[in-house]
Amino acid sequence: MKDYQMIHDILSDIKRVASEHNVIPTRDFYRQHGKFSEKVVSKYYPTFGEALKAAGITKEKVSGKKEKPFKFKFKKTQLESFKINEIDLESLFKRFGDPEVIRMTAQPDTHMKNRDVRAVESYLDFVEWYKPHIALIGGDLMDAEGVSHWPSNSLEPRAFIPEVVETREFLDELRRRAGDDAEILYIEGNHEDWIKQAMAAKMPEFFFGLEDLGLLPDLKALLDLEKRRIELIPVNELLRIGKANFTHGLYTGPNHPKKHLSVVKGNIYYFHVHDFLATHEPSMHGFLEAASMGCLCRLDAPFLKGKPNNWGHGFGVFEFRRDGTYSFYCIKMFDGVFSFAGKVFGK
């Protein structure tokens, strides 16, 4: 009976906050204006979105307007050869109920078919605990070996669809761990780009006519990203949030951070190379940084044939302030274990 009373009190208080402020409260907004702690609410509702549904709160009921899913509006700019997708920070803060910072996780190359299971699970545990406002996928979430233009080093059949299924399942799990309120952004990597290359050059005759039927097997359709409320940033385009820029990775080589910084001439964070490397420079516009953030795939990738490498497991954490400045934490895992803010993950 006590549980029923507590559930009633929680839902009543969520309705109160929504009514008094004429908003659909986010997790952070309720934390500031509600009576119950996040820990108490999560005991009965794993995600705050579920609590809102249980309380019967929709945009239509709060404002009298029909509810529409939030969709990022990117300011798209082309400067010289750079294509930039910029998110307005002010709209982000309003979207999430004016928190102190916008929290974001940055997931590096996972290569689903060749993922490191323990590293991926530790990352998902962190996402569930940290509850980012934005979960950024940095590209090469898929390995796409089945449509690769590179010769296979394996005698296994080059299957592609099973990895599509696994990737869909991962995206659903990421959504569950991050929560309904979180936004998921996906920067297309070079491995995902292999899908388009296969269509254009490797086996184009197989795809002829599909576009007329609305069945074009691009990444959005294959992973049903629209249904999953995931925004896609095309390969080699930049995502800009505040004073930070993100891309899958434009350059490789022994000093890839310096190359990125010399070309972009702004803070740039990227993935692609699977290692941890950073460089810093002063400028008249302030301190500039370029950094890579490791990977979540196997460190003994089959194509390396046992060669030693400098890859490492990890990911990025960013906390953006309203003026565009931010704090960046590069998390490094050892055998799937790491700590953050005094808490150990993967043990």
Span 162-182, pLDDT tens digits: 888 999 999 999 999 999 989
What's the average model confidence in pLDDT over 129-156? 81
Does position 12 have pLDDT exceeding 90, yes or no? no
Name beta bridge partners: 232.
186
* Cα distance between residue 232 and residue 220, in whole Å: 8
Name the pLDDT band for 1 (thresholds 50, 70, 90).
very low
* pLDDT recorded at residue 316: 98
What's the average model confidence in pLDDT over 88-104? 92
Who contacts 72 (Cβ-Cβ below 8 Å, separation ≥6)?
Answer: 87, 183, 185, 231
Q: Between 288 and 204, whose confidence is greater?
A: 288
Say which range, 42-51, 88-97, 173-182, has the weakest mean pLDDT: 42-51
Say which range, 78-87, 94-103, 285-294, has the weakest mean pLDDT: 78-87
Q: Give whole-number Cα distances, 135 to 139, 258, 333, in Å.
A: 12, 26, 19
What's the average model confidence in pLDDT over 124-136? 97
Class (C level, CATH) for 75-345:
alpha beta
* pLDDT recorded at residue 50: 81
* pLDDT recorded at residue 195: 80
* pLDDT recorded at residue 48: 84
What's the average model confidence in pLDDT over 255-266? 95
In the chain, % of residues over pLDDT 90? 53
* pLDDT recorded at residue 65: 52
Name the pLDDT band for 106 (thresholds 50, 70, 90).
very high
* pLDDT recorded at residue 310: 92
**Mean pLDDT, the chain, as a whole number?**
86
Does position 16 have pLDDT exceeding 80, yes or no? yes
* pLDDT recorded at residue 154: 61
Structure tokens at 181: 């309120």
Say which range, 73-82, 118-127, 320-329, has the weakest mean pLDDT: 73-82
Does position 104 have pLDDT exceeding 50, yes or no? yes
